[in-house]
Structure 1
């Protein structure tokens, strides 16, 4: 089973496109994902990283619906499209809501947006209509002063953070039970002082079942070599199955392989990207990863019978996007002097901070590793072997639209 979730929390204080073909949207999705991943992974060369480009893109798209002037232009440049253009907005609904609330048997993909508004802040009718139509945004009243008081009390031991947050797991927000979004949101909001007027919480949650599940009894404790050459033992899942597989080269002639593991849903798959030479560092692949490479995978992967060894891993990252989005050219929305959200509200509002909270868990079905030996397993099979025993990249992709829901790297599967 693979379970993933992301939360993007935006705290807000006081040249139009003309339709984008589906093929171009696929490239725009991939391009934004690569740029965002590099921006967030920068300065963390040895850390596990997981990012949800689709979650961030949805929230930036929602802000487009209320932005004007240079603020809108920067948001459009970062994504490559403007959601105020109906010809752009309609294709994007394809994955957000056709597949969103049920991506097929054995898989669930759900995205929700909730806009919390302080009493006295009035939102424009057109913004409310467009945001509700495109992103299914629920507008809820909030008393941020009370919320922040509760948050401070929770840190003092009087209240749990989730008690201070009006969005409880499994509430009317549509957030799946147990996803933890309410608690994480409260922890972030409680840090800020007076002046908070609106908060936008965007969640993207995926839970999927492999098309062919890994056998619990075949999970082994096997070596995984860290970037510095240190070997460690990690629970390594195994199965012999048909997968999408291809070998490719970067511009500097580094060889790498791509493995695609499908879910029961025909539109979702997990892609694992691994340098073929064990001496080639993952960083050399990361720096050259491009939209062109991802496009070549779609045509270059072939169905192949393989013995697949994949480490079980569980990652979580928290990012403050205020320090990363400017790398993508998005600066005005954080400036009280330059932000222009006049299409959202007549009040002078700007984005104080943007938080991105992402988790991923990839397992057979959450059970512990069983005792076995790799030698016995390998003697039973004559298929080609794909063994993920060193740092690797991964992507969860929506194959119909090309959207990259999650992208990340695993440097050490044993780190939580």
Structure 2
């Protein structure tokens, strides 16, 4: 399992006056984070009919949190409304520091990294308060760079592995040509999760099996298999659709991949997706029961890139992208910053990786008819969640594993 999810924002400088600030207290942050994740998923899904996609709520929210430290007035209120909380609330700060500390302390065999780098045009003054807040938030940092000469292409995370996995190396960041001519700040948020399964799939046990795509076409895809004790449940959503939910834990059980599958082959996944809420997911995941099952899961690899400006604008985050209205005065104490680009790139890969298992035993178990079966041979939803906090790293959909 190897998802990598960066978000990149480009902030340009303009010269217009701004007004004061306001804070919005929020409660129930774990629920708010899940609601944000699902809202982001639904917004993306609306424009990705019947296709594979993956997006990282963690990567998007981290970048917006960093911007909140510098936002004031209406810009601050719009960001708080979009996130469902404000980093200026002490309860939010305490919870998020606990979450980010948990993510840094990855268990053996699991690597988790959540980081944000604010690249600053050399000579641009920054508020000491803002720099201090950024530097203590989720492994974030501030680094000088000459954006005017590099056209943005020399921005890099200084993490060779992250560049290799994202494809956003020193010469390939996704700015439009010439867009950094007046840039003062660029914000790059990266979430990396890498782990082995708690119980591995045997590569010798994988075989081509039919998969019915969202469009009704049938393909033969590489299907992994294992027989294991898993957390499993069958539920009914608000519209009466029958749903299966399976949890596949990673090594150390610090995080799990959850799979949501329609039990009725004739019920499209997009009929179930709108019924998913934070309350529904909490209820379903809390009611899973240990079950010995045959699990069939296709290998898949998904990579997407999205422009988030239209999504955030549809949520009411409008001033942030307007050079006349954006109020990010808290960044430097000066007027004039606004967000020009908001690009999100996500990658998710699922395979058998892990220690070897007995091929003979596994192949024999494939034929056992008395063991319940979870077979992801049609479109399914997945979400990767940290166990102790419910923090959602990624959420996405597989409509065709071969795409």
Q: State if a TM-score over 0.5 links the two structures.
A: yes
Aligned: 1:167 with 2:157: yes
| Counterpart position of 1:244 | 231
Q: 220, 227, 231: which is aligned to 2:214?
A: 227
**2:23 alignment partner in structure 1:** 16
Alignment correspondent of 2:106 = 103
1:11-410 matched pairs, under 5 angstroms: 11-14=10-13, 16-18=23-25, 20=27, 24-96=28-100, 98-148=101-151, 151=153, 164-170=154-160, 176=162, 178-180=164-166, 182-183=168-169, 186-189=172-175, 191-193=177-179, 194-345=181-332, 346-365=334-353, 377-380=365-368, 382-410=370-398
* TM-aligned CA deviation for residue 18 of structure 1: 4.2
For residues 278-321 of structure 1, what are the alpha-carbon distances to aligned partners after superposition, in whole Å with 9 as ceiling and x for unaligned?
00000001122111211112321111110000000000000111
**Contact 1:3–1:360 (CA under 8 A) maintained in structure 2:** yes
Displacement of 1:130 after TM fit? 0.7
* CA positional deviation for 1:44: 1.3
CA distance in 2, matches of 1:78, 1:321: 13
Contact 1:244 1:301 in 2 (8 A): yes
Superposition deviation, residue 190 in structure 1: 5.8
Task: Quote the offset at 1:145 in angstroms.
Answer: 2.2
Q: Secondary structure at the match of 1:65?
A: helix
Deviation at 1:257, TM superposition (A): 0.7
Contact 2:166 2:345 in 1 (8 A): no
CA shift for structure 1 position 26: 1.7
* 1:332 Cα offset (Å): 1.1
| Cα offset, 1:45, TM superposition | 0.6
- Looking at structure 2, the residues matched to 39 and 290 of structure 1 have their Cα atoms a distance apart, in angstroms, of 13
Contact 1:263 1:269 in 2 (8 A): yes
184 and 284 in structure 1: CA distance in 2 versus 1, 3 angstrom threshold? farther
Question: The residue matched to 1:336 in structure 2 has which SS?
Answer: coil
Runs of 5+ consecutive residues of structure 1 not aligned to the other structure:
152-163
Structure 1 CA distance for aligned equivalents of residues 306 and 162 of structure 2? 22
**After alignment, is 32-41 or 184-193 more displaced?**
184-193
1:166 to partner: Cα distance: 4.0
Question: SS state of the match for residue 3, structure 2?
Answer: strand
Partner residue in 2 for 1:158: none
Which of structure 1's runs of 4+ aligned residues deviate more than 4 A? 374-377
For 2:33 and 2:171, locate their aligned partners in 1 and report how far apart those are by CA, in whole Å. Answer: 26
Q: 1:162-188: per-residue Cα shift (whole Å, max 9, x none)?
A: xx4443443xxxx64733464288331
> In 2, distance between residues paired with 1:26 and 1:77?
16
SS at match of 1:122: coil
TM-score between the two structures when normalised by the length of structure 2: 0.91
Deviations 1:317-337 (A, max 9, x none): 001111111122211111111
Tell me the distance in 2 between the aligned counterparts of 1:166 and 1:250.
Answer: 44
**Residue 16 (structure 2) aligns with:** none
For residues 90 and 375 of structure 1, do their structure 2 counterparts lie closer, same or farther at Cα, with a shift above 3 Å needed?
A: closer
The answer (yes or no) to whether the contact 2:232–2:245 under 8 Å persists in 1 is yes
Distance, in Å, in 2 between the alignment partners of 1:261 and 1:375 is 20
Q: What is the rounded CA distance, in whole Å, between the counterparts of 1:133 and 1:92 in structure 2?
A: 11
